[in-house]
Every structure is written in structure tokens, then in C-alpha cells.
């Protein structure tokens, strides 16, 4: 784990990346670590949260004192009083609140200014500076009314708002922390029959590690001794415990139940499953959804609006409809404050974080948010057959000559195809020695060829035979099984292999059809096998004998018809279609290439999770749109009020009310995102 270096990002803006902790140059939030060691997690972030809390409570008595001593507030008190040096006390208290309480905002604004990225903090600091300088001038030089009490309440509300907001955001950034916490810090290393507890980071490949009953499995490995059931739900989402015996692989982070296991470590550091999942989630959380572009544009517009309308407001109330400098400055400050696009920075990332976490908990990895966003509009789902709708675990049917099987396995040991794996497994089951093969050549969608023991051996389908001008043997039909021809020195024989339809495939197809989504199956397999599977699942459209490059064409064809297409696949031959489709969904047990090309990975390899993806997509999109409204919509509506448009009707927005509304928008946005956790994903 410690091979990974710790990067820091802003909880508001995943684009911000830094290799050391600090303050985000865009918004002034403390940066949070991603994918690092758990000791660092949230340490810095919670100290910023703590800082806001401390400053809020320390300045609160001074804010109250400033309020009580201010002439404006005194007018409303039932028992007005005066004390000596009153104005000077207000000046001192107000100054302490602005300078000490407001310090984090000035620091952050400096960060924004030096990064030439003017945003929220620039606006806040601008508003505070203008107000404060004006008031100090009034105290020291001019017979003008000061507004320390407004400034003090403004700072107070900002501090409170930030404190609450960071607390809430902390609740949304937990995904990666939760995952890294899955690993125990130490492992029991077995060395010459001796057990030593060592730091997990010192474990190397090939080490033997003991896992006692009830303990977390610290690292990826293969069982060499013992038997136990293991709960892998935190990694795969699969809640049923899995039985592990000698030879089985175990995943670091899963929970050992009743037995004791000895494993040989197979992966360390960045190669471990959990490190890769963390990397995927970190990537996903920094993959920008389309809605983010909308939010960014709105934030820029709001900043400009704030400055333009703020200045305009001041000019209007100062010169055009003179109401005095105090009123003009008050309105201007209110405008700038209410238009702060702060909540906009939060609106989308908070949703993204919760969505990816929620999905991960259900065994769904979202690699690309744009894919998830598009999922809600999908009206055609294209499935690959082998390994996707079926398990891809092929068994050899009937009797087969050992020698043929041995030669076929020699070729197939070099292939990634699931049929190839079936053949090699059968040879192993029969304890046949598989000879080496030379000059291996693969024909995607057709089969493979190699030289074994000096003989040319072809393994593949009828198409492959035709390409090599070999006539197929008779009797090549067996209902629902895939014929695989093995040609040894031009003499063809046939093997039949079959796998089983996944239990959940039928439910998935039924659910999709009920949602009005067209279902399509693509396979390179024979018409016969395709039809057996297609009709048992009741799929709308079945295409068989589709060559790998034709799979993409089928997807493009559907897209040309105006369909929004999701492609679900597992194989190397599905990778181009996964990329081409609007939403690429890979089956977790599939090949790395498929997983790499997909937007979304179903870790449980359960087709029914596609329905979950669609549900999640709808819920996510709804939340994003709601958040955009809460972040920007109501602020925009409130700007005219802040500018003093409703003064003729006696309605005025004071800066502290503007600050409250502004902070409320952030809090609402975060709280609204958190509600997403409640989404029912069956
Ligand atoms: P699918 O994933 O739908 O099965 P493929 O394009 O991978 O589609 O394969 C199509 C067909 O090509 C298979 O059904 C099989 O008959 C043949 N084939 C491909 N690769 C191999 C292989 N390595 N060994 C035997 N047959 C193969
Ligand atoms: Mg496949």
C-alpha cells in the first residue's frame, strides 16, 4: 500500500491535485488526501474544520458585544444603555472579529489571487475589505456611520457556514478512506514455522502469511493450507460468503470467517485488488460529469455578475439615487455575498462522490461519470453472449480422445478465449501433460493455430476451417452446444462445449424490457447456440456469427437509428464496442481489456446490476439538477432583492442575511447530496 504516493485534492474540485497538503488555490478548502495511507486521512481536513469551529466560538462573544453596543441595534433594544468609550469598543471588537475571524478567508483569497483564479474567496475578502476600510475611515476620519456589526455578523455566519459545510462534506468523502481501512496494518508472517507480526508494507511476493479465524485478509494471495469461508462483500459486493480451499485466490481486505488459512502472497502494493479499486474510484471521482461543465460555466457567470451588479448597485445608490454611502455599500456587499458561487463548486462533486461510493458498495465500479450520466437515456442494451449472459465456464461434452484434447489444449493454453480455457481445464482434469506449442496464431472470432510436436493444429469454428480449405466432419450439430473443430495435420474432429446461462440474465432481460428498452444479443457463436440462448432469455434481437470487428458495426448501426446504446461485454473482442457505445459496461470477471474500455464495471458479474446502474443514473442526475438549482438558481433570484430593488416595498436584504442565504445554499446542496445515500438500489 505504501508504494502508492499520497496525492491531495480539493473536496470541491477534483481537478485540483497537489503532492502536499494545503489549501485549495480555487476555493480555500483544505485539500484532502486520495488513496494514501489511512493515517493521513482527513487529518488535515478535520483540522480546518476545527479551525473554523474555534474561530466561530471565540469570536461569538465579541460579535454579540459589537451588536449590543451598536447604535442601530440599540434603537431596537427595550433598555438602551451607553457605556464609556462605546464607539471605540465597537471599533476594537469589530476589528478583532474581522481580522481574526476573517483570517482564513483572507488567506484563501490570497491563494486565489496568486493562482489568478478569482472566485468565492476573492469575493468574500473583497466584501469584508471594502466594508472594513469604509468603517475604519468612518471611525477615524469622517462623520459617517460605520457598520462593524454587519461585518461581524457576516464573518460569524461565514465561519459557521464553512464549519457546517466541511462537516457535511466530510460525510461525503469517506469512500476511499473506508476502503483503505479495510486493510489491517499488520500481517502474521510465517517464517521457518515461526510466526512473526510484521508491518503490512514489508510483505513481499512469495511470503507465507497466516490468517486466523475472524481476521481480515491483509493482502492478495493463494491458499496453500487450510479451508475457510470468506466474506468478500466489501470488495466484490457479493454478500454470500465464499468457500476457500487450497489453490483458491483470496483478496486483501476481505474477511476470513471460521477457519484458519495460510496463503502465499501473489500481489503487493499497487498491484493488489484493493489498490486498483482505490485507483479506479479516485479516477472516477475525478472524472468530470457533463453537469460539472454546466456548473463551472454558471460559477464563472455568477462571479462576473457579482462584480458587475455589485459595482452597479453601489454607483446607483451612491450617485443616481443618493441614499448615502452606508446604504450603497451595504447593498453592494449584499449583492457580492449572495452571488458567491461557492455552492456551485460543491453541487456536482458531492453527488459524484456519493454516487461512486454507493455504487461501489453494490459491487458496481463507475470509472467514468459521463457514462453513468448517459445511462438514464439508454433505450437499447446490447449484450455479448459468452461470458456476459452466460457464465463463460465451458465444459467439454461427451467422449473425446485424450490425444486430440492434449493437442487442442497445447494450442489453447496461449488463448484468452473462454472456450480455450474450457479445453485446457478439461485436459488438466484428465491429468494430461500439455505439450508446448510453437508459432501460435490467433484468429479473433474464429479460433487459433499452432505447431505442436511438429504437427500443425487448428482449433476453431467452421469459419476457420473454411479459411483453411478444410471440410468439416459430419455430425457437427448438438443442440445448444458450441462445436469446436480440432484439425491435426488436416484431419478434422469435433468437440462440443457448452456453458450455462447466468441465473440473473433472464431477470435482467425481463426488467429491461419492462422499462421499454430494446435488448440485443451479439455473438460469434453458431446460429444454433445463439438461438437457444436468445429464445430462452426472450431477447428481442439476436445476431450470431458476428466477427469481432462487426460487433462495433452493429453498435454503430443502432446509434445511427438514433438509439442510445449501452454495450455489456467481457471479452477482448467486446472492447471496441464498449468504447463505441454511449455506455460501456464490463463484466467484472471479464478480461482486463474489457474492464479498461468500459465506463462501468459490474464486479459481481451479475447482469441484473445493469438495472441498478440505470436506477442510479436517474437518481444521480436528478440530484445534480436539484443541486444546480439550490446552488445557483435561488441566489440568482435573490440578487435583485440584495441590490435593493424591493426597497420601495420596505424589503431590504442586509449583508448578514445574504451571507446566511449564501451559506444555506452550500449546506442545502451538501445535505441534498447526502440524501442520495438513501436511494433504494435493489
Ligand atoms: P463470443 O464472445 O460471442 O463467443 P468470439 O468472437 O470471441 O465471440 O468467438 C466467436 C467464435 O469463434 C466462438 O464461438 C468460437 O467458435 C470461435 N473461437 C474464437 N476463438 C476461439 C478459440 N481460441 N478456440 C476455439 N474457438 C474459438
Ligand atoms: Mg464474451
* pLDDT of 31 higher than 70: no
Q: What is the pLDDT of residues 117-157, one digit of tens each?
A: 666 677 778 878 888 987 898 888 876 667 788 888 888 88
How much distance in Å is there from the Cα of 599 to the middle of ligand 2? 17
CB 520 within 8 A of CB 539: yes
Per-residue pLDDT at 112:
80
Tell which atom from ligand 1 comes closest to the C-alpha of 483. 16
Report the percentage of the chain scoring pLDDT > 90: 38
How much distance in Å is there from the Cα of 363 to the middle of ligand 2? 20
* pLDDT of 681 higher than 90: no
> In the structure, what pLDDT confidence band is assigned to residue 6 with cuts at 50, 70 and 90?
low
* pLDDT of 445 higher than 90: no
Per-residue pLDDT at 449:
94
Q: What is the pLDDT of residues 613-639, one digit of tens each?
A: 999 999 999 999 999 998 888 778 888
Per-residue pLDDT at 329:
83
10, 292, 449, 554 from 628: Cα distances, Å:
19, 10, 57, 37
Residue 643 burial by Cβ neighbours in a 10 Å radius (0-12, 13-18, 19+): buried
Q: Is 370 helix (H, G, I), strand (E, B) or coil?
A: helix
> Which residue owns the Cα nearest ligand 1 atom 9?
445
Q: What is the pLDDT of residues 100-110, one digit of tens each?
A: 999 999 998 89
* pLDDT of 543 higher than 50: yes
> Which residue owns the Cα nearest ligand 1 atom 20?
447
Per-residue pLDDT at 353:
81
Phi/psi at 251 (5° precision): -110, 130
Q: 558 — alpha (psi -120 to 50), left (phi > 0) or beta?
A: alpha
> In the structure, what pLDDT confidence band is assigned to residue 39 with cuts at 50, 70 and 90?
very low
Q: What is the pLDDT of residues 306-316, one digit of tens each?
A: 889 989 998 99
The rounded distance, in Å, linking the Cα atoms of 345 and 342 is 6
> Which residue owns the Cα nearest ligand 1 atom 24?
447
The dihedral over CA atoms of 270, 274, 277, 283, expressed in degrees to the nearest 10, equals: -50
Q: What is the pLDDT of residues 587-613, one digit of tens each?
A: 887 777 788 889 999 988 899 999 999
> In the structure, what pLDDT confidence band is assigned to residue 41 with cuts at 50, 70 and 90?
very low
Substitution site in 460, 480, 571, 593 for ligand 1 pocket (most atoms within 8 Å of beta carbon)? 460
Q: What is the pLDDT of residues 295-307, one digit of tens each?
A: 878 877 887 888 8
> In the structure, what pLDDT confidence band is assigned to residue 282 with cuts at 50, 70 and 90?
low
* pLDDT of 584 higher than 60: yes
Per-residue pLDDT at 407:
95
- Other beta carbons within 10 angstroms of residue 467's beta carbon come to 13
Q: DSSP alpha helices (H): ranges in 287-417?
A: 290-315, 325-338, 342-361, 369-375, 402-412
Tell which atom from ligand 1 comes closest to the C-alpha of 461. 16
The rounded distance, in Å, linking the Cα atoms of 433 and 209 is 31
Per-residue pLDDT at 670:
84
CB 512 within 8 A of CB 611: yes
| Residue 418 grid cell | 473462454
- Sign (positive or negative) of CA dihedral 417, 418, 423, 426: positive
Choosing from 207, 220, 384, 574, the catalytic residue is 384
CB 500 within 8 A of CB 391: yes
Distance linking the first and last C-alpha atoms of the chain: 33
| Residue 110 grid cell | 490570497
Q: What is the pLDDT of residues 55-102, one digit of tens each?
A: 999 999 999 999 888 877 777 778 777 788 888 899 999 999 999 999
How much distance in Å is there from the Cα of 250 to the middle of ligand 1? 30
β-pairing, 186-191 vs 194-199, is: antiparallel
Q: Check if 401 is active-site.
A: no
Per-residue pLDDT at 100:
95
Per-residue pLDDT at 194:
87
* pLDDT of 442 higher than 80: yes
Tell which atom from ligand 1 comes closest to the C-alpha of 569. 2
The rounded distance, in Å, linking the Cα atoms of 35 and 281 is 9
CB 6 within 8 A of CB 15: no
> Which residue owns the Cα nearest ligand 1 atom 7?
445
Tell which atom from ligand 1 comes closest to the C-alpha of 415. 23
Q: What is the pLDDT of residues 160-185, one digit of tens each?
A: 877 877 776 666 555 556 666 667 88
CA 678 to chain centre: 17
Q: What is the pLDDT of residues 371-419, one digit of tens each?
A: 999 999 999 999 999 889 998 889 998 888 999 999 999 999 988 788 9
433, 473, 591 from 484: Cα distances, Å:
21, 11, 22
| CA-wise closest residue to 189 among 214, 212, 210 | 210
CB 488 within 8 A of CB 508: no
| Residue 352 grid cell | 459524484
| Residue 31 grid cell | 485539500
* pLDDT of 570 higher than 90: no
How much distance in Å is there from the Cα of 482 to the middle of ligand 2? 13
How much distance in Å is there from the Cα of 503 to the middle of ligand 1? 22
CA 22 to chain centre: 23
Substitution site in 422, 461, 485 for ligand 1 pocket (most atoms within 8 Å of beta carbon)? 461
How much distance in Å is there from the Cα of 459 to the middle of ligand 1? 10
Substitution site in 445, 495, 546 for ligand 1 pocket (most atoms within 8 Å of beta carbon)? 445
> Which residue owns the Cα nearest ligand 1 atom 27?
447
CA 294 to chain centre: 19
* pLDDT of 237 higher than 70: no
Residues within a 6 A CB radius of ligand 1: 384-386, 412, 415, 417, 419-420, 445-448, 459-461, 482, 484, 523-525, 548, 571, 573
Per-residue pLDDT at 626:
94
Rg (CA), the chain: 33
Tell which atom from ligand 1 comes closest to the C-alpha of 523. 3
Mean per-residue pLDDT, 530-546 = 93
How much distance in Å is there from the Cα of 645 to the middle of ligand 2? 65
The rounded distance, in Å, linking the Cα atoms of 436 and 414 is 10
Amino acid at each position: 500500500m505504501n508504494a502508492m504516493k499520497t496525492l491531495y485534492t480539493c473536496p470541491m474540485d477534483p481537478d485540483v491535485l497537489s503532492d502536499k497538503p494545503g489549501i485549495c488555490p480555487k476555493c480555500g478548502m483544505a485539500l484532502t488526501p486520495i488513496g494514501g495511507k489511512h493515517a493521513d486521512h482527513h487529518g488535515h481536513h478535520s483540522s480546518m474544520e476545527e479551525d473554523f469551529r474555534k474561530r466561530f466560538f471565540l469570536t461569538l462573544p465579541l460579535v454579540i458585544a459589537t451588536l449590543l453596543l451598536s447604535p442601530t441595534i440599540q434603537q431596537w433594544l427595550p433598555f438602551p444603555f451607553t457605556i464609556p468609550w462605546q464607539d471605540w469598543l465597537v471599533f476594537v471588537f469589530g476589528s478583532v472579529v474581522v481580522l481574526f475571524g476573517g483570517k482564513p478567508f483572507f488567506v484563501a483569497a490570497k491563494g486565489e489571487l496568486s493562482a489568478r483564479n478569482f472566485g468565492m474567496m476573492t469575493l468574500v475578502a473583497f466584501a469584508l475589505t471594502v466594508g472594513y476600510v469604509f468603517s475604519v475611515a468612518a471611525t477615524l476620519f469622517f462623520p459617517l456611520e460605520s457598520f462593524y456589526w454587519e461585518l461581524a455578523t457576516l464573518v460569524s455566519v461565514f465561519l459557521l457556514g464553512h464549519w457546517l459545510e466541511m462537516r457535511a462534506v466530510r460525510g461525503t468523502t469517506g469512500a476511499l478512506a473506508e476502503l483503505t481501512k479495510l486493510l489491517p496494518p499488520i500481517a502474521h508472517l510465517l517464517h521457518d514455522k515461526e510466526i512473526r507480526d510484521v508491518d503490512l508494507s514489508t510483505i513481499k511476493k512469495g511470503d507465507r502469511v497466516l490468517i486466523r479465524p475472524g481476521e481480515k485478509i491483509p493482502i492478495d494471495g493463494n491458499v496453500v493450507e487450510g479451508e475457510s469461508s470468506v466474506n468478500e462483500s466489501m470488495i466484490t459486493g457479493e454478500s454470500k460468503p465464499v468457500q476457500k480451499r487450497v489453490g483458491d485466490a483470496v483478496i486483501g481486505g476481505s474477511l476470513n470467517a471460521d477457519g484458519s488459512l495460510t496463503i502465499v502472497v501473489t500481489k503487493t502494493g499497487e498491484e493488489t485488488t484493493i489498490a486498483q479499486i482505490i485507483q479506479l474510484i479516485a479516477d472516477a471521482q475525478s472524472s468530470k460529469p457533463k453537469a460539472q461543465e454546466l456548473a463551472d460555466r454558471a460559477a464563472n457567470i455568477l462571479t462576473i455578475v457579482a462584480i458587475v451588479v455589485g459595482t452597479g448597485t453601489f454607483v446607483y445608490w451612491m450617485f443616481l439615487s443618493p441614499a448615502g454611502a452606508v446604504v450603497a455599500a451595504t447593498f453592494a456587499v449584499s449583492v457580492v455575498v449572495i452571488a458567491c458561487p461557492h455552492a456551485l463548486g460543491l453541487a456536482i462533486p458531492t453527488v459524484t462522490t456519493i454516487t461512486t461510493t454507493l455504487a461501489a458498495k453494490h459491487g458496481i465500479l463507475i470509472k467514468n461519470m459521463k457514462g453513468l450520466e448517459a445511462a438514464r437515456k439508454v433505450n437499447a442494451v446490447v449484450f455479448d453472449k459468452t461470458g456476459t449472459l452466460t457464465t463463460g465456464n465451458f465444459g467439454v461434452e461427451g467422449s473425446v480422445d485424450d490425444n486430440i484434447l492434449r493437442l487442442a489444449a497445447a494450442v489453447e493454453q496461449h488463448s484468452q478465449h473462454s472456450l480455450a480455457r474450457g479445453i485446457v481445464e478439461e485436459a488438466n482434469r484428465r491429468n494430461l501433460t500439455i505439450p508446448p506449442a510453437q508459432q501460435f496464431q490467433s484468429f479473433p472470432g474464429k479460433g487459433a493455430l499452432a505447431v505442436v510436436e511438429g504437427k500443425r493444429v487448428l482449433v476453431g469454428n467452421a469459419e476457420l476451417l473454411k479459411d483453411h480449405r478444410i471440410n468439416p466432419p459430419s455430425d457437427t450439430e448438438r443442440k445448444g452446444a458450441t462445436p469446436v473443430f480440432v484439425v491435426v495435420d488436416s484431419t478434422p474432429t469435433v468437440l462440443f462445449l457448452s456453458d450455462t446461462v447466468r441465473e440473473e440474465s433472464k431477470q435482467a432481460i425481463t426488467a429491461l424490457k419492462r422499462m421499454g428498452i430494446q435488448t440485443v444479443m451479439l455473438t460469434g457463436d453458431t446460429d444454433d447456440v445463439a438461438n437457444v440462448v436468445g429464445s430462452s432469455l426472450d431477447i428481442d434481437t439476436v445476431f450470431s456469427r458476428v466477427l469481432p470487428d462487426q460487433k462495433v458495426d452493429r453498435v454503430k448501426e443502432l446509434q445511427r437509428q438514433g438509439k442510445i446504446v449501452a454495450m455489456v461485454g467481457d471479452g477482448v473482442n467486446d472492447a471496441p464496442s464498449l468504447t463505441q457505445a454511449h455506455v460501456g459496461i464490463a463484466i467484472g470477471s471479464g478480461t482486463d481489456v474489457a474492464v479498461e474500455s468500459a465506463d462501468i464495471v459490474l464486479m459481481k458479474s451479475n447482469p441484473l446490476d445493469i438495472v441498478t446502474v440505470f436506477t442510479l443514473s436517474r437518481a444521480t442526475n436528478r440530484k445534480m439538477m436539484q443541486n444546480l438549482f439550490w446552488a445557483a438558481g435561488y441566489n440568482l433570484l435573490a440578487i435583485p432583492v440584495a441590490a435593493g430593488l424591493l426597497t420601495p416595498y420596505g424589503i431590504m436584504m442586509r449583508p448578514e442575511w445574504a451571507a446566511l442565504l449564501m451559506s444555506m445554499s452550500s449546506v442545502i446542496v451538501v445535505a441534498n447530496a447526502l440524501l442520495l445515500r438513501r436511494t433504494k438500489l435493489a
